[in-house]
Structure 1
């Protein structure tokens, strides 16, 4: 993960997909395209505004590390009054998607977290399932580097684990839950410390 300034060259020129949180980190609004993106990722029912409104945004992250990272980012933006941008994976089983994420300060310590698509590439969902198995209702992916947690709980690049000859088809596909691997967590904390020193 790398903290960056907003860049050009993205598929989307503006941050259409977004959500807003209040000073207590509770979701109170989502952008116009939020629902359609949730449906593309096959989590539409669980991620609509009716389900999310009033809930802590931290309930939406699957692991403590990701919650800690975002808590630090929110704290940083509120304290500085300046937006931060970084890139993450927001993949579906059938799609590798890189997003630019922007956390924007609003009045009364509210924040807007917006996303725009940098790149998308289709893939066969069976590749992911062969690596991670179907024992769990979801597959864990690092939001920052895109590595997957395999059956043994180890983070592995997908392409190192599976070749095309291993693919198979399944009827019911599990959802992808986004977390953060140890390497990205360490890298992020170092960058955040350096970012604070420059401010």
Structure 2
């Protein structure tokens, strides 16, 4: 059975608990930018969602889970510099308006290291690339999202001394898929 990573929010969307393996996974995934359990618990879920589109979608999902008293599940990616991680997030209603999140890694694929995904790499603090929070594709223009390796080639990021920082949003395909599952 795949390892799962869990967290719970209360009725006010404040993180009240995380699973015991949180710190290890955070360090493996984010490097120097990792966020420990002690730094997460007690903070609002919204503080960890970078963009308005994703924040609005999470509000819609949470309202749906709480209102229907039924869980929802969807697939997403949680990549590291050396592997693609194909995951599933299950969001379930709890007692008194609490909501439980269970994230499971379903499959991994090794790949050549992608320095752009290393949080501690030298990066340009003023330039950003938008990655989809769900599928991890990169926006190369307003309407096109491609895998990170293709984006590196198309945007000539491998020829630059400093790389852009990654910010997050939602591609239209992932947004539509999640809304359809509600």
Q: TM-score interval w.r.t. the shorter chain?
A: 0.7 to 0.9
Structure 1: stretches of 5+ with no match in the other structure:
1-10
Between Structure 1 and Structure 2, how many residues are aligned?
Answer: 174
1:59-80 per-residue CA deviation (whole Å, 9 max, x = no partner) reads: 1011111111111111111111
Find the counterpart in structure 1 of residue 60 from structure 2: 72
Compute the displacement of 1:83 (Å).
Answer: 1.1
* Between 87-96 and 171-180, the greater mean CA deviation after superposition: 171-180
Task: Within 5 Å, give how 1:13-32 maps onto structure 2.
Answer: 16-32=4-20
* Between 88-97 and 174-183, the greater mean CA deviation after superposition: 174-183
> What TM-score comes out, normalization by structure 2 length?
0.78
Structure 2: stretches of 5+ with no match in the other structure:
none
Cα distance in 1 for partners of 2:158, 2:150 equals: 17
Cα distance in 2 for partners of 1:156, 1:58 equals: 24
Q: Contact (CA 8 Å) 1:61, 1:179: kept in 2 or not?
A: no
Quick one: structure 1 residues 171 and 83, their matched pair in 2 at CA, closer, same or farther if it must change by over 3 Å?
farther
Find the counterpart in structure 2 of residue 181 from structure 1: 171
Compute the displacement of 1:120 (Å).
Answer: 1.2
Q: Contact (CA 8 Å) 2:27, 2:34: kept in 1 or not?
A: no
Task: Within 5 Å, give how 1:34-183 maps onto structure 2.
Answer: 34-43=22-31, 46-123=34-111, 124-126=113-115, 134-136=123-125, 139-150=129-140, 155-158=144-147, 159-162=149-152, 176-183=166-173
Cα distance in 1 for partners of 2:162, 2:21 equals: 26
Q: Contact (CA 8 Å) 1:93, 1:175: kept in 2 or not?
A: no
- Supply the RMSD in Å over aligned alpha carbons: 3.2
**Which has more strand, going by share of residues?**
2
Compute the displacement of 1:156 (Å).
Answer: 2.8
> What TM-score comes out, normalization by structure 1 length?
0.72
